[in-house]
Amino acid sequence: MSAIARDTDEMLIASRPPPTPQGGVMYWLRTRLFSGPVNSVVSIVTLLLIVRLVWPVIDWALIQADWVGSSRADCTSDGACWVFISTRWSQIVYGFYPLTERWRVDIVLGLFFTLIVWLVMPRLPGKRAAALMALVGLPIIAWVLLLGGMFGLPHVPTRAWGGLMLTLTIAAVGIVGSLPLGVVLALGRRSKMPLVRAICVIFIEFWRGVPLITVLFMSSVMLPLFVPANVEFDKLLRALIGIMLFWSAYMAEVVRSGLQAIDKGQGEAGAALGLGYWLRMRLIILPQALKLVIPGIVNTFIALFKDTSLVLIIGLFDVLSIIQAGLTNSDWLGFAIEGYVFAALVFWVFCFGMSRYSQHLERRLDTGHQH
C-alpha cells in the first residue's frame, strides 16, 4: 500500500488517526473471549471445565481443610488435614537435628535467605560484598555452625541432619560447585591441548553416562572400599562430591553450547588487543556465553534441586523422605496426599523462584538492541 502511494503522488492516501485504545473489562471480554458464537461456546465450555477441575482442589486444600490442632483427632472435616504438616513442621525443617541445637540451623537458614534476597533484589547495594559473603562467608559459617565440634559447640553428625536444611545444603553445594567446575570442563573440552581435551571429554562422558542413583550408591558403598578403614569419610560429604561432579558434566555441556555460539571474531578482537587466554575468556567470551545459556543453566539447577531427594536411597532424609517417613507413623496413616502435596509445594516454590529469577536476569543483562 505504502509503496504504491509513494510511487504515485496523486494516489496518496490520507493518513488516518491512530486507533483509539479501548479499555475496560467488557471490551476485553468481548474481543478476547466472546468475539463470535463459536468462540463464545468454546470460552464457556473451557471456563466450566476449569471450574469443575480446579474448584474441588481449592475446596479440599483451603476451604474444607483443617488447619489447627495437635493430632489426627482434630481433623474432622472432609478436606485436607494440614495438622499433619503443622505438627511435624519442625522435623520437616530440621530433620533429626538435636532440639537444643536448632538455633544453629536457624542462623544459617536466616543468613542463607537474607543473602539470597540481597543478591536477587537489584535495588540493594553492595552486590560484591554479598556475593563474597555467599560464596566464602556462608559456607564457612554453615560448616562451623551446622557440624559443630569446635568453639565449644557440640558436634552434630551429618546423619542427624535432615529435612529442608539438608535439601538446601545439598542443592546449594551442588549449584555453587557444579557451575564453576562445568565452566572449566567446557573450556577444557574446547582446548587446543590434546591431553586437556581428552581428560575433559572422558570426565564429561563418564559422569553423563551414569545415572545419579548409581553415583550415589557408588559414593556410599564402593568408595569406602578404596579408602583405608580408619579414614572416616562422611557419607553426606561423599554424596555432595558425587552430586557436584555429576551435575558439573551436564553444566559443562550447557556452557559449551554457549561458547560455541560466540563469534570467532570476539576472541580475535580480544587477542589483537593483547589479552591473554584467561583474560579473553573471563572478560569477553564467558560473560557473553553464560548470558546466552542462562535458561539452560537454570534448567540444570532446577533438575539438580529436584534430584536432591534421591539421597534417600543412601539413607539421608531430605524434605521428601522425612515427610514420607512421617506417613508411616501409625498415628498418621492415611495422610499421604497431604504429605506429598506439601512436599511438591516446597519443591515448586524453590524451582519456580529460580525460574522467575532467571527470566528477570535475562532481561536485565540484555544489551543486544540489534536489528
User: How many Å apart are CA 100 and CA 123, to the nearest integer?
Assistant: 38
Provide the 10 A C-beta neighbour count for residue 188: 20
Closer CB to other proteins, 15 or 367, in the complex: 367
Query: 308 and 297 in contact (C-beta within 8 Å)?
Result: no
Closer CB to other proteins, 132 or 273, in the complex: 273
For residue 350, give the H/E element and its range: helix 336-365
Closer CB to other proteins, 275 or 336, in the complex: 275
Q: Least CB distance from residue 271 to other proteins, whole Å?
A: 6
| Site of grid cell 546423619 | 159
Closer CB to other proteins, 16 or 369, in the complex: 369
Q: Least CB distance from residue 288 to other proteins, whole Å?
A: 5
Cell numbers for 163, please give them.
Answer: 529435612
Q: Least CB distance from residue 198 to other proteins, whole Å?
A: 21
Closer CB to other proteins, 52 or 371, in the complex: 371
User: How many Å apart are CA 153 and CA 104, to the nearest integer?
Assistant: 10
Q: Least CB distance from residue 360 to other proteins, whole Å?
A: 17
User: How many Å apart are CA 71 and CA 268, to the nearest integer?
Assistant: 69
Q: What is the 3-state secondary structure (H, E, C) of 34-89?
A: CCCHHHHHHHHHHHHHHHHHHHHHHHHHHHCCECCCCCHHHCCCCCCECHHHHHHH
**Binding residues for other proteins (CB under 8 A):** 263, 265-266, 268-277, 279, 283-284, 287-288, 291, 365, 367-370
Closer CB to other proteins, 251 or 284, in the complex: 284
DSSP state of 151: T
For residue 136, give the H/E element and its range: none
Closer CB to other proteins, 114 or 191, in the complex: 191
User: How many Å apart are CA 242 and CA 219, to the nearest integer?
Assistant: 7
Q: Least CB distance from residue 207 to other proteins, whole Å?
A: 30
Q: Least CB distance from residue 357 to other proteins, whole Å?
A: 20
Q: Least CB distance from residue 269 to other proteins, whole Å?
A: 4
